[in-house]
Amino acid sequence: MDIYRSAVRPILFSGLKADPEFLHHQTLETLSWLDRHRLTPPANWILARFQQSCCLQDPRLEQTLWGVRFPNPVGLAAGFDKDGAAASIWPNFGFGFAELGTVTEHPQPGNPRPRLFRLPLDSAVLNRMGFNNQGAAALAAKLSSVRGSAEAAIPTGINLGKSKVTPLEEAPADYLASFQLLKDLGDYFAVNVSSPNTPGLRSLQDASQLAGILDALQQENQGLKPILVKIAPDLEWEAIAQVIEVAQTYRLAGIIATNTTISREGLKTDIIQKTGNSVKEEAGGISGAPLRQRSTEVIRFIWQKTQGKLAIIGSGGIFTADDAWEKIAAGASVVQVYTGLVYEGPWMVRRLLEGLLQKLEERGLGSISEAVGIDAMNV
């Protein structure tokens, strides 16, 4: 029995009716405490129990992307651990990689509260956090202090965003400043130009704007670290094709598909209880189940356009092994979870991995890399 789904979630969601952001903050505080005391009881005992129950190792799940070994294809998406509070803890929960951030050059508080809402009827989350984080220098200090401390290290991605105080025309310098501080501490970097919660940010997905950012980063990078771009699900196909072209021109390592959506189509939720407003009137991006189909369609489109030559990290609406498999079969080399973790709890990753192994056996495949794009070929 999964105690989170049967007991903890009903209490948190319905019983306490606590603010989702407060609960998220408390979760990270607890994980940070476990991290700081990992060598002493009871923290070491707790972490050992999580590792025993959440982790699953199998060589069929391993992949190497950009020269980086991923022990399994299920990662933590950006936004969950913006400041690396639990950076060395995520391996204990079975993740194959973790993407930290979004981090900006300048520390910033984010948007006014309330800014995070659960939509249980839709298995979704509405957020308008606004890149609240302590800044790139603070994340660099944190990662430097914990480097090499994890018992079973996993790849660390770092998601870079634009500071709200930085004008759009100065965005390249802003992204570059963060990258310079963090370039030695991440295994890959994601350029986030697709959050709907920073004014004007999504305009940076325009080919000419994006080119300026990528040019600045790649001149500094000199091919040393994999750089990806994270795109919105709401882009038209022509705009996605232009992003692909820019990504290929600047030799990006891949694309993360996708960020949250500004669409409210098909939602069962009508009113946000916390504010009393219609969900259609509330600003922010929707993540979770409503995003599942569209993100998979975008993944398939990118895979087909690039003939599978550009790596894709799939994100959006993954709750079950079927969801994860769908994205991998559409062309994602690895996938990320966030909202699914909120609803399904810490044992979710193991269930996904067990299900993926079963899918491999059913299809007669020897490794997860053989499954990448397997269904996109036949469309």
Which tokens is 344 given?
């399904």
Which tokens is 40 given?
């002493």
CA proximity to 52, closest of 10, 94, 17? 94
CA proximity to 23, closest of 117, 90, 112, 103? 117
DSSP assignment letter at 112: P
Instruction: Give residue 15's Cα distance to chain centre.
Output: 29
Dihedral angle sign, alpha carbons of residues 176, 182, 188, 190? negative
Contact of 108 with 131, CB cutoff 8 Å: yes
195 is annotated as an active-site residue: yes
Catalytic residue among 88, 123, 194, 195: 195
Listing from the earlier edge strand, what are the strands of the sheet with 124-127?
116-119, 124-127, 285-288
What dihedral do alpha carbons 222, 87, 347, 17 form, nearest 10°?
Answer: -120
CA proximity to 310, closest of 246, 357, 267, 264? 246
Q: How far apart are CA 367 and CA 98, in angstroms?
A: 21
Q: How far apart are CA 263 and CA 285, in angstroms?
A: 8
DSSP assignment letter at 50: H
Could you list the active site residues? 195
